[in-house]
Amino acid sequence: MLQKQTNELAAQLKSNRQARASQPASKPEAHPPEYYDQLLRTAAAKPIDARNLGLAFGMYALDHQDRFPSSLDQVAKYLRDYPLSGTNQFDIVYRGSLNELKGIPRGAVAVIRDRQTFIAPSGKQARVYCMADGSSQIIESDDDFKAWEAEHIISTPARQ
């Protein structure tokens, strides 16, 4: 009886595999070439915009006793020579001073992050960050960036 059940289960599995193999694969949604051109331009602009913002933040800090700006509006004049694409939205994640980072490598502290994530070629979520040294990094994550941000975002006390 057990042999009969095993044979029936094997036959059912084979039938299920054949049924799945005969089903057409789902096609990704078709888009016109302009869609992909825009997608590529936006993705390519993310690290460039982050780098340009990082440069503007650095220049602002030099002019303001090593303090980073508390809003993006404060760096507008510094962006004249380093324009942004207008396709990305960034949040400031560090509003402190360079002096508060003594002993910490500036390349290890995130200052700005892109609000939107995207899917990297690896299939993981990715996000662009700008570091306190002005560099931009594309970070991939399996955990919604929680582990990476715990190591690279420093909380700053509220300004008086």
- pLDDT tens for 121-142 read 788 899 999 999 989 999 999 9
For 67, the 3-state DSSP assignment is strand
For residue 125, list its beta bridge partners. Answer: 119, 141
What secondary structure letter does DSSP report for 97?
B
CA distance 3 to 85: 68
SS3 6: helix
Question: How many C-beta atoms surround the C-beta of residue 133 within 10 A?
Answer: 14
Mean pLDDT of 58-76: 93
Residue appearing with tokens 């009969």? 4
pTM of the model: 0.71
What is the average pLDDT value for the chain, to the nearest integer? Answer: 84
pLDDT at 86 over 90: no
Domain coordinates of the chain in residue numbers?
Answer: 34-152
Position 106 scores a pLDDT of 92
pLDDT at 2: 66
Measured CA to CA in angstroms, residue 151 lies from 72, 110, 154, 156 at distances of 24, 9, 8, 14
